[in-house]
Amino acid sequence: MNPLSDNTISGAHARTTLTDTNNRQHFVGEPLQDIPTPGNSAQKHQVVVIGGGPAGSVAATRLAQAGVDVLVLEREQFPRFHIGESLLPNGNRILKEIGVWEKVAAAGFIEKRGAQFTLADRSRTVRNVFAQGWVKGLDMTYQVERARFDEILLRHADSCGAQVWEQCPVTKVTRTTNGWQIEANHAGQAQLINADWVIDASGRHCVMGRAMKLAKSALPYPGRMAVFNHFEHMQRDEGEQAGDVIVLRLEHAWFWAIPISPTVTSVGVVLQKNGGRAKDESWEQLFWRKVKESPFLTQALAQATPLGDYRIESDYSFSHETFAAERCLLVGDAASFIDPVFSSGVYLALESGLLAADQIAAALKKSPSPQRETKLYAAYTHSLKTQIGTMRQLIDAYYDNSACEVFMSPRPTLSLPQAINSVLAGSLKPGFPVRWRLWLFKQICKLQKKRPLVPPIAWQAPDEPVTTTESSVRH
C-alpha cells in the first residue's frame, strides 16, 4: 500500500535552542562549532537531499531542472525492496511535470483504474472507479514493483543533472552559519559536504528530524503492525478490475491485495499490536490465522505460493509538528506517515518532494532572509498538513466500525460517493464542492453511532485474543 520504511520511530522530542553572540543557533547539549568556509576538504552543494526514494528523487529532479546544484545521498544500492506498491491517479501529474511519466508508463506496470473495499465474505463491496470521481482527469494510475519504480525515478534524477551517491549513509549533520555540514560514508570513504539547504527524504530514519530534535505530534491511533508477503498465482478478478487494489475489512483488522505483475500479488494484514500476536506465534502463522477469518481470502490464496519471508512493519504512524526549520525541509515519510489504508504514502511523497524543491529553488534566487525563510517553513508545513488532514478524515472513518458501515453503504445522495472517490484518487486540496460533501459525510457517520441510517455490519468474531509480548521489528 503506502510506503513503509525499516526503522521504528520513538516518542516525540522537544527541540530547545540557544543563540550565541553572532545570532547563530545551536542545539542544547551539543557544542557550538565554528564551521569554516568550505575548503579543499569539503564539497559544496546548494542542496543536499538525504534519501533517494520517490520524495527525494522528485525533489532532486525538480531542483536539477531548475539549474540548482543538488546532491542525493542514498544509503542503499538501487534497486532495493520496498513496500507500498499502489499509486494514486493525482500523482501522475507530478510524474509528468518532472518528465518521468513516459518512462513509468513504458515499464509494464499493472494499470489501476479503481479500488475495491469489501468485507470478509464479500457480502458488501464498494468499487471506486476513479473516472467517476468529482474531479475529472484522475482516471487511472499504476500498481508498481517499488524496486523498479523507485529506480526509474532515481535514475531520472541523475539523467536530469542531479548528482547521486548510492551506498552512502549519513553519519552526522551539523548546523553551520549558512546551512549544514554533512558527514557521510560513500562506498567506504568518509565524505564531508557543505550545503546551503537540506531536504530530508530519509523516510522513517528521520535523519534531520532527529538531529534537530523536532517535536512529533501525538496521533490518536493505537500501535499497529502490518505482516505481508508477495504471492504467485493468487486468484484475481479479470478484465478492467484485475488491476484494482482490494482492501478487505475485518472487525479488528484489514487486508490489502495489490497486483504488482501479471502473476504476483502483494498481500498484507494490518492489525493492532496489542492482542495481535501470540507469544510463540510466527509472522507466517499470524498471517494465515487472519486469512482464515475471510472465506474470500482463504479461497483466493488457496493455490498461491509465497515468494519470500513474511515481513513486518510496526508503529509506523507519526507526524512532526513542523515539516521545515533551519534551512531544512522534511518530505515524504520523513515528515509524516499516517496509515497505509488508502495508499496515500507515495502520492504524498511525490507531492512533498515537488513542493519542497519549488520552495527552495525560489529561496535560492533571493538574498538570504530569516523572515522569508520563516514564512517559507510555515507555508510548506501548512500546505502538506492540509493534504494529510484531508486524507485523515477518511482514514479515521474507515477504522471506526460505525463510520465504516456508512463508507460501505454508499448512496447517490448529493454526489457524496463522487466526492469521496476524488479524495481516494489523491485530490487532497479539494475545492468547496468536495469539502462540504466530506463534512456532510462526517456528520452522517456521527449519526450512524446514535441511530443507524444504513444497515449495520454483522462483524465476524475474530479468533480468541492473544497478547503481543515483544516489540515488532522488520523480519
What is the sign, positive or negative, of the torsion defined by CA atoms of 197, 202, 203, 207? negative
Q: How large is the average pLDDT for residues 228-252?
A: 95
**Could you tell me if residue 73 is inside a domain?**
yes
**pLDDT(265) > 90:** yes
Output DSSP code: residue 332.
G
Distance CA(24)–CA(222), nearest Å, equals 40
Which residue in the block uniquely carries the three cell numbers 530569516? 370
Total residues found in the chain within this entry: 475
Q: How far is CA 473 from the centre of its chain?
A: 18
Mean pLDDT, residues 327-345 taken together? 96
Domain total of the chain:
1
Q: Does the residue 64 lie in any domain? A: yes
Structural domain of residue 179, as residue ranges? 17-109+144-215+318-390
Q: How confident is the model at residue 460 (pLDDT cuts 50, 70, 90)?
A: low
Residue 307, C-beta contacts closer than 8 angstroms, at least 6 positions apart: 229, 230, 231, 232, 264
Would you say 122 and 66 are in contact if contact means Cβ atoms under 8 Å apart?
Answer: no
pLDDT for the residue 321: 96
pLDDT confidence of residue 31: 33
Residue 471 lies in a domain: no
Domain CATH code at residue 54? 3.50.50.60
pLDDT in tens, 377-394: 999 999 999 999 999 999
3-state helix, strand, coil in the chain (%, to 5): 35, 25, 40
| pLDDT surpasses 90 at 276 | no
State which amino acid sits at residue 287: F
Question: What's the average model confidence in pLDDT over 184-197?
Answer: 95
The total of other beta-carbon atoms located within 10 Å of residue 394's CB is 21
At residue 119, does pLDDT exceed 50? yes
Look up residue 306 and give its amino acid: P
C-alpha cell belonging to residue 74: 542514498
Residue 130 lies inside a defined structural domain of this protein: no
Residue 395 lies inside a defined structural domain of this protein? no
* pLDDT at residue 466 in the model: 35
**Alpha-helical regions (H) of 238-369:** 283-291, 295-300, 345-364
Placement of cell 475471510 in the chain: 294
Residues facing residue 217 across a β-bridge: 319
Judge whether 279 lies within some domain: no
Evaluate whether residue 189 is within a structural domain: yes
pLDDT-derived band at 290, boundaries 50, 70, 90: very high
Question: What percent of the chain is modeled with pLDDT above 90?
Answer: 81
Q: What mean pLDDT do residues 18-40 have?
A: 36
In SS3 terms, 143-208 reads as ECCHHHHHHHHHHHHHHCCCEEECCCCEEEEEEECCEEEEEEEECCEEEEEEEEEEEECCHHHCHH
Question: Could you tell me the pLDDT band of residue 287, with boundaries at 50, 70 and 90?
Answer: very high
Determine the average pLDDT of the residues in 135-144: 96
> Which three cell numbers, joined as nine digits, stand for 137?
482527469
Nearest to 1 by CA among 181, 146, 103, 188: 146
The per-residue pLDDT for 184 is 98
Beta bridge partners of 48: 71, 198
Q: What is the pLDDT of residue 275?
A: 65
Give how far Cα 10 sits from Cα of 68, 318, 394, Å.
34, 9, 26
Nearest to 304 by CA among 226, 225, 229, 227: 229
Q: Is the dihedral of CA 251, 451, 448, 217 positive or negative?
A: negative
Distance, C-alpha 306 to centroid of its chain: 25
Q: What pLDDT, on a 0 to 100 scale, did the predictor assign at position 278?
A: 78
Task: Please tell me whether the peptide bond between 79 and the residue prior to it is cis, using omega within 30 degrees of 0.
Answer: yes
Phi, psi of 103 (to 5 degrees): -70, -40
Q: Helical H runs in 183-282? A: 207-211
CA distance 378 to 329: 11
Residue 178 lies in a domain: yes
